[in-house]
Amino acid sequence: MPRTEAVDDGLGWSEPEKAELARLAPGLLPGRIMTCDLVGALVLTELGSASATYGASLLLAAARARSAGRLWPKPGDRVAVRRWPDGPVTVEGVVA
């Protein structure tokens, strides 16, 4: 998603990017990784901070990316987050 306007939401997402996320991946929320390790991350969202684990789609993408020489998601990365109805939060993908 190319950045098209100034960002002032504290998460690094512009309004058009949020709208595109909602259109392409209904149910996912914008977020930013504050800290992370191989087990999970502390993610900042519009609803506040949340401890999150990694969703299957992110784990698969990261496994494929490692073979291409890329690194695991890191602090500061913009991410798509899912808040599950029963409480857990998962990071579903890193957004470029």
pLDDT digits (tens, 9 = 90+) for 65-81: 766 666 678 999 999 99
- What is the predicted pLDDT for the residue at 7? 52
20-56, pLDDT tens digit by residue? 999 999 999 999 999 999 899 999 999 999 999 999 9
44 sits in which H/E element: strand 40-45
pTM of the model: 0.82
CA dihedral 82, 20, 4, 91 (to 10 degrees): 20
- What is the predicted pLDDT for the residue at 61? 80
Q: Does the pLDDT of residue 5 top 60, yes or no?
A: no
